[in-house]
Amino acid sequence: MAELTIEVKEGLELAKKYQEGDVVKTSTIDPFTKLVLRIEGEAKKATVVDTGRLRASISHRIITEGQSAAVGTVVQYAPFIEFGAVHGHTFVPPRHMEGASKELGKGMFAFTIEQLSDALSEYEVKVVSNIEKEMSN
């Protein structure tokens, strides 16, 4: 699965310290899950659509409760949409949807991360892309 992984870097020690009460535990996990769902939704909106297969395949999974999650796809051609591809002697640039039109230059995940940079910086998240690694396997 090609995926984009996010990991919360700050606030975990404080959350662990006060984890005895459900209020703190819920408030640390719930906003994180909302952020993951928002990333998934924005990535789907930014995905170019011919058949809808790629868009429908984008999903998320929580890896470590409230700390780490992945948003990605298992569609084989997703890396070519995200990073571009060489077709014959021509480079076809990455593309994403912006409004109702296809835009060249950024893939759907790169565009999503750029659009959500403020929300991501509030969480002080680390963004890791495993798509290139998946392509080489």
The pair of structure tokens assigned to 71 is 């948003």
In degrees and rounded to multiples of 5, residue 100 shows phi and psi of: -100, 10
Whole-angstrom Cα Rg for the chain: 17
**Across 31-35, 52-56, 126-130, least confident range:** 126-130
Give the best-scoring range by mean pLDDT among 60-64, 79-83, 121-125.
Answer: 79-83
* Domain edges within the chain: 2-136
Residue 5 parent element (H or E): strand 2-8
User: Which residue matches tokens 């959500």?
Assistant: 116
79 Cβ partners below 8 Å, 6+ apart? 2, 131, 132, 134, 135
Max avg pLDDT among 25-34, 52-61, 98-107: 52-61
| Residues 62 and 113 sit within 8 Å (Cβ to Cβ) | no
pLDDT at 1 over 80: no
Task: Give me the pLDDT at residue 26, please.
Answer: 46
What single-letter DSSP state applies at residue 62? E
